[in-house]
Structure 1
């Protein structure tokens, strides 16, 4: 016996098989629901449960913390009755096929003391179609997955660019940082996630990244330049010290080439000779913008940074529908390396 699911306000209908999560059923039938980590921690898949009942067989519901009553996590929730969900659908992502492919490491660069850049080449005649800001999974030999944000724009897809931060005691990132060799064959699955640049709006853009949360924002910015978006774009990049700005010249070059783009690095543990902004990156954004009601804001990085930014920006009038986020989980290694 399957359960019928209807979404509002789009009035989209689909069904879920017994034991199937809402998100799995939606993706199986080409219904574009928002999601991120797919393990119940990030909260990106949260939807309003207007009618019906769900169960959480996995028991993983930490992504519900801070959400309004009546919210469900579609990536973990299994229907036990017919449902009506209040959720904003993302039609474009659903139209892109999620594929599992082999890839070859064609280039490995140490960008800083704890960040490596990888370039992955797919088999001949193959390309990975994706939206700027999405991520992919590495599929390990034992079936585990490790997620990394795609750092290149869709038009520049001869190779897939990833920024990998060395996570302390992270088995996979230890391997990537120390032992992974060029020409190694790996297996990936993607594209994944609903963190991508919204193009059908005239609102100015604020992009806030923490650490290697810069990776998906880089893809968005380069895509925006490529398609000719000339809305004001402001990038705030928060790190501890100057050495953590692992591509320091790139945003400066963007700012020189594009008058509508500005860049603000923010150091929380600044070097003695640092003359720029200091403190937490979300505080710098808030200090510069007393009213965010007219902006689109993109947040990418560690969950505490994303959550602090969400609270601060909503307090300054940012509507929830115009705040887009991708929170990286560093431990356990699940969404552990999505860009970081």
Structure 2
């Protein structure tokens, strides 16, 4: 048997430093899939080699990368020992360095049927969808995590829960904010033929985007478009838990109606003295009557914050916003890279782009 043939039939030990957590990965199994299966919480986002959220340093071992985008992992980064755990398959025992190892996967990942409870159009291209869960089931998740719809052909579409877990006690079900992508197989259905009481299949919870409650650092919440959905869940969770860390929410859109729950945020900010809300619009027209901040939302944070070295940043939305924020906040404002938590809303077009 050759060494390659041996690697194809072996199971390998994956260790994560500095936590010391370890798990085993089967032959041909991506490291991230093995971690989720084993209840070890590595950071991740799209699970498809497109967003880079799962990138971490390989301290030792050999991996083989599957298909991925260069913006998620460049050739130089790969040569320097970085890996994308979502598409890296081990060919030996591997030791990784990842400071974001968490226990979020302690909540079981399950598949279940859900029923469309309501459809409310919040803006011309954003639908608030409420899903009713099976009556006898419990669904536990962290505010900020997401579920995946499993479509009839096996394709998947991921959407973050916009309501915090504690809201299940008063109004069982999940709230999602779905943006219409013209020509999108799933969103065309949401904005066209979808009706209340329709049955869908989902799986979750997924993701490592949630509040690190063991810190007392001030927080910057950064959202673009429907990236507000998991941020809304974080805000609800913070209010419920009485978390009063100084928090600034920057929410950006092209036009004012992209800030589709603006009044909701104003009301929360009025109830939460530690929460400051900064709405930002990049392409306001004269007829919009917009008198607030303008420009790019990640730049508004740079304009307001000379030093982020003592902060945590939670960023969610379009990949260009998340990537720009990560690069500039760490390089120009001293933010420790391990204190930047992100969920990049990677569309199917993004995943299959260059």
Give the TM-score normalised by structure 2.
Answer: 0.91
Q: How does 1:58-97 map to 2 (within 5 A)?
A: 58-62=66-70, 63-65=72-74, 67=77, 69-97=80-108
Contact 1:137 1:146 in 2 (8 A): yes
1:299 deviation in Å? 0.6
Equivalent residue in structure 2 for 1:287, among 300, 303, 309: 303
1:290 deviation in Å? 0.5
1:234 deviation in Å? 0.8
1:244 paired to 2:268: no
For structure 1, the 5+ residue unaligned runs are: none
Q: State the match for 2:174 in structure 1.
A: 160
| Count of aligned positions | 335
- Equivalent residue of 2:303, what SS? helix
Contact 2:249 2:278 in 1 (8 A): yes
1:229 paired to 2:246: no
- Equivalent residue of 1:129, what SS? coil
1:333 deviation in Å? 7.6
Greater percentage in helix: 2
Query: Distance in 2 between the 1:245 and 1:171 partners?
Result: 25
- Equivalent residue of 2:96, what SS? strand
Q: State the match for 2:6 in structure 1.
A: none
Equivalent residue in structure 1 for 2:210, among 180, 190, 196: 196
1:332 deviation in Å? 2.7
Contact 1:147 1:334 in 2 (8 A): no
Equivalent residue in structure 1 for 2:117, among 106, 111, 115: 106
1:160 deviation in Å? 0.1
- Equivalent residue of 2:165, what SS? coil
Q: State the match for 1:38 in structure 2.
A: 47
Task: Tell me whether 196-205 or 84-93 shows the greater mean CA deviation.
Answer: 84-93
Contact 2:49 2:67 in 1 (8 A): no
Q: State the match for 1:186 in structure 2.
A: 200
Structure 1 residues 108 and 334: alpha-carbon distance in aligned structure 2, compared to 1, 3 A threshold: farther
**Per-residue CA shift, 1:98-125, capped at 9, x if unaligned?**
0100000011101110000000011112
Contact 1:61 1:73 in 2 (8 A): no
1:91 deviation in Å? 2.9
